[in-house]
Amino acid sequence: MGALWIAHVTVTDEEAYQKYAAGATEAIAAHGGAFIARGGRFVQLEGRARPRNVVARFPDVETAEKCYHSDAYQAALKHALGASERELMIIETSE
């Protein structure tokens, strides 16, 4: 089964967040992940809206988790923690 990595983000420091995005992009690609939505238009129907929403597809949940815990992603994440408010989840797909 595939997996989706879904992030809802409010960026508070654009310069630092760009450093995160560059490192995260490399880490995600290195783990077989591919972005299917990155920012862009959205319609919030329920719950709290965040201005930036990102979805990446991975081969499976385990690979997505390995990416998150990888040294490369954790190094990138240090830039995001003080530069954003965010929620991140991994969801197994039915495909």
User: Which amino acid is located at 57 in the chain?
Assistant: R
Segment 72-85 shows an average pLDDT of 96
Q: What is the helix, strand, coil percentage profile of the chain, to 5?
A: 40, 30, 30
**CA pair distance 30, 12, nearest whole angstrom:** 27
Residue 11 DSSP class: E
Compute the C-alpha angle 61/66/71, nearest 5°. 155
pLDDT digits (tens, 9 = 90+) for 12-61: 999 999 999 999 999 999 999 999 999 889 999 999 999 999 999 999 99
pLDDT band per the 50, 70, 90 thresholds, residue 3: very high
Residue 84 DSSP class: E
**CATH number 3.30.70.100 given to 3-40+50-92:** yes
Q: What is the pTM of this model?
A: 0.91
pLDDT of residue 71: 98
